[in-house]
Amino acid sequence: MAKTLVVGANGTVGSTLVALLAAKGETVLRATSKQAQKAGEVHLNVATGAGRAAAFAGVSRAFLLSPPGFTNQDELMIPLVDAAKAAGVAKIVLMTAMGANADENSPMRKAERHLEKSGLAYNIVRPNWFMQNFNSYWIASILAEGKIRLPVGTAKGSFIDARDIAAVAAELLTTNRFDGQAFDLTGSEALDHDQAAAILARESGKKIVFEEITPEAMLKGLIGTGLPQAYSEFLIVILGYFKAGYAARIESSVETITGKKPIAFAAYAKDHRAAWLG
């Protein structure tokens, strides 16, 4: 039976992807950076390369992404593509980010190009900003102050639910209908952060507002949480792209691939209501 390796299997997208593939009757191998302890797990430390060759043994398809906290995505992903090819993997779905193809010299684009030239069947998915950022990265200030504090002004973003990203990946991994194509993934509506905050406030019954902060204040806060300097600076750059309007575009890829409309932000807010209540 075909076996699918999922890198980032414990993450926001990967955990849902594993469940969706299992529901389809697929055999899933979950990559873990720690020593494998459970059935269906395999050790693979993307950052160090430990376990790389062994992880792909007997694998037919693979879902790849770069772990958060790193800006050298090409140096991490290219060896994975090469290891997959050497092991006889038939298809790879690579997740990067919307806008990765805007600069041919960016690390993510270099990883994409390497996959495109690998000779393997592939898809590339480039999701926009996750809705789940609100209940993870931005949740501390929401709970402590009732504020979403970001340097993004009044710009809008077509936020996407990670569950839709996983649904797209599950479909692409189990069909050849879209082989060789790259897809930008967005929600079906573009909201600014005032609108997003209002939806969260309505769902929670609490006062939640958006507060504009400077990039410098954001950078200081990111570093203060323990994020590496380089990665924190990278986040400031892409938040600047958001403020410039590059995240507002709406694409129909989710519905094209899955046959379903993307999850609306209001539905996401309702499903994660417990997070806003703290």
Asked if the structure places residue 191 within a domain, the reply is yes
**Residue 141: pLDDT over 70:** yes
pTM: 0.97
Which residue in this structure is represented by tokens 């792209």? 241
Query: Would you place residue 38 in the very low, low, confident or very high pLDDT band (cuts 50, 70, 90)?
Result: confident
Range of the structural domain that residue 195 is part of: 128-160+187-248+263-278
DSSP 8-state assignment for residue 123:
E
- Residue 62: CATH number of its domain: 3.40.50.720
- Residue 151: CATH number of its domain: 3.90.25.10
**Residue 34: pLDDT over 90:** no
DSSP string covering 48-96, please? T-TTHHHHTTT-SEEEEEPPTT-S-HHHHHHHHHHHHHHTT--EEEEE-
What is residue 36's predicted lDDT score, i.e. its pLDDT? 81
Number of domains in the chain: 2
For 127, the enclosing helix (H) or strand (E) is strand 121-127
**Residue 1: pLDDT over 70:** no
What is residue 97's predicted lDDT score, i.e. its pLDDT? 97
Same domain? 68 vs 148: no
Beta bridge partners, 206, equal none
Asked if the structure places residue 228 within a domain, the reply is yes
Same domain? 193 vs 116: no
Same domain? 136 vs 83: no
